[in-house]
Structure 1
């Protein structure tokens, strides 16, 4: 596998993998740090899928991707038992997450949408603040929670920002990056 700094942009790796076409039946959506411009050399490409039938998703992923380097697949034991798979392509790690919920209702997609809004509203200063925390070892959601002073579990508390309008988010961003 290529060293992370030698890998192509995530869009090129995505195209090379063909994963969106291979898994089209599961409504795949790209999420995570690369499309947000917050990726680090250790970042992966996250793909969220609608998998109302975990066994069917598992079978579809096996048929489509089992020949890829680093392929692994497993199923969570808790909640609605989502299926997770991982493989390598073009110097990137891809991680698939298949859950019974439609993608737009999944927590990972909701986090991604909130983060996209925050970055659009906060501009370069907010992006730089999040990246500084990420470079220091934080994941994206904990970094945002830290900047906003959100108490509690960061993945859950990030969702408390979801209903806020742009004016309220902008005010919180300005306070966070002072």
Structure 2
């Protein structure tokens, strides 16, 4: 369902705005070689006013990605680019502001459907489908500046590192099968 952003056209007000912003920027087309997928809270309808648009990608060659992203989006407000390591995996991130949204382009040398952001979103979406009453509670916790994964873990009684705990929950519930 999340491979394209078409579903956003029929979503809530913020999802429709996000669709237009992403389309106007041409991100999904211009960066298609990296298999971009919009992840995090907005696709599953638990976004809050300060939520950004996180687009994850499979980026192996950082130099060419950096050049392309800088050429395409370097002139946008608050543009910054950095390279770092997360969980011992090299990562490149570009951030900028467009049409009222903070946008993060996140790349790592890993297929997008194996990245934490995608897996967490799939698990969270499944949980919300099974327990729709949790949606409002997650949003309340997010408005208190609690990260999404931690909010779900608190509500589900999961302990330990929230990123790992949520993945383990997804494996146990057979929400995700690709490990």
SS at structure 2 position matched to 1:151:
coil
SS at structure 1 position matched to 2:76:
coil
Normalised by the length of structure 2, the TM-score is 0.83
The answer for the alignment partner of 2:90 in structure 1 is 81
- In the alignment, the residues of structure 1 paired with residue 15 and residue 153 of structure 2 have an alpha-carbon distance, to the nearest angstrom, of 30
Deviation at 1:166, TM superposition (A): 6.9
The answer for the alignment partner of 1:62 in structure 2 is 70
- In the alignment, the residues of structure 1 paired with residue 14 and residue 137 of structure 2 have an alpha-carbon distance, to the nearest angstrom, of 25
- Deviation larger for 133-142 or 37-46: 133-142
CA RMSD of aligned residues (A): 2.1
Deviation at 1:77, TM superposition (A): 4.0
Work out which of the residue numbers 78, 89, 101 in structure 2 matches 1:92: 101
Deviation at 1:163, TM superposition (A): 1.6
- In the alignment, the residues of structure 1 paired with residue 42 and residue 14 of structure 2 have an alpha-carbon distance, to the nearest angstrom, of 15
Runs (5+) with no aligned partner, structure 2: 1-12
Deviation at 1:6, TM superposition (A): 9.8
Work out which of the residue numbers 114, 117, 120 in structure 1 matches 2:123: 114
The answer for the alignment partner of 1:28 in structure 2 is 36
The answer for the alignment partner of 1:51 in structure 2 is 59
SS at structure 1 position matched to 2:128:
helix
Aligned partners of 1:141 and 1:154 also within 8 Å: yes
Runs (5+) with no aligned partner, structure 1: 168-178
- In the alignment, the residues of structure 2 paired with residue 60 and residue 100 of structure 1 have an alpha-carbon distance, to the nearest angstrom, of 16
- In the alignment, the residues of structure 2 paired with residue 6 and residue 119 of structure 1 have an alpha-carbon distance, to the nearest angstrom, of 19
Higher relative contact order (CA 8 A, sep 6+): 1
Deviation at 1:7, TM superposition (A): 10
Normalised by the length of structure 1, the TM-score is 0.83
1:82-161 to 2 correspondences below 5 Å = 82-123=91-132, 125-161=133-169
SS at structure 1 position matched to 2:105:
strand
Aligned partners of 1:16 and 1:90 also within 8 Å: no
Between structure 1 and structure 2, the one with the greater Rg is 1
